[in-house]
Amino acid sequence: MRAPGFAEHPDHKVDTERLHRKIEIYLDDDCILETEGAIRVTESESEDRIYVPINDLTHIDLIKSGVYHCPFKGDAEIYDVKHGEATFRSAAWSYVKPYDEVLELMGRVAFYPEKIQEIRGV
């Protein structure tokens, strides 16, 4: 399915770039992800975001806590992140039904930078 938002906002851009290097994500001094399969999304009027394969996550549980619709990328689920005894509310999201223009985001998750400790390798 095509993204309807681009018809209404033709100047809005969403670009994706595969990062062919190791990316690590840390939470509470614990590496919760190592991957060479990350994608950087650069979008008009937004900060760049790093999307990583959900299957590469370790030491955490993603707990669905909400839904979101983006007119440019599609339907997403919002997740609380459980790590050990701690739960980080609304800390991540994943496009479960992305539009054709960003279909490579399916099966990937992104984290709000203020909710995690660090992303290395970006």
Nearest CA-CA partner of 40 in 14, 67, 10: 14
Give the sheet arrangement for strand 23-27, strand by strand: 30-35, 23-27, 118-120
Q: Give, for all 122 residues of the chain, the pLDDT tens digit.
A: 777 777 777 888 999 999 999 999 999 899 999 999 999 999 998 899 999 999 999 999 999 999 999 999 999 999 999 999 999 999 999 999 999 999 999 999 999 989 988 998 87
* CATH of 5-120 among 4.10.320.10, 2.130.10.10, 1.10.10.10, 2.170.150.40: 2.170.150.40
Q: What does the domain layout of the chain look like in residue ranges?
A: 5-120
d(CA 34, CA 14): 25
Does this model's pTM top 0.85? My answer is: yes
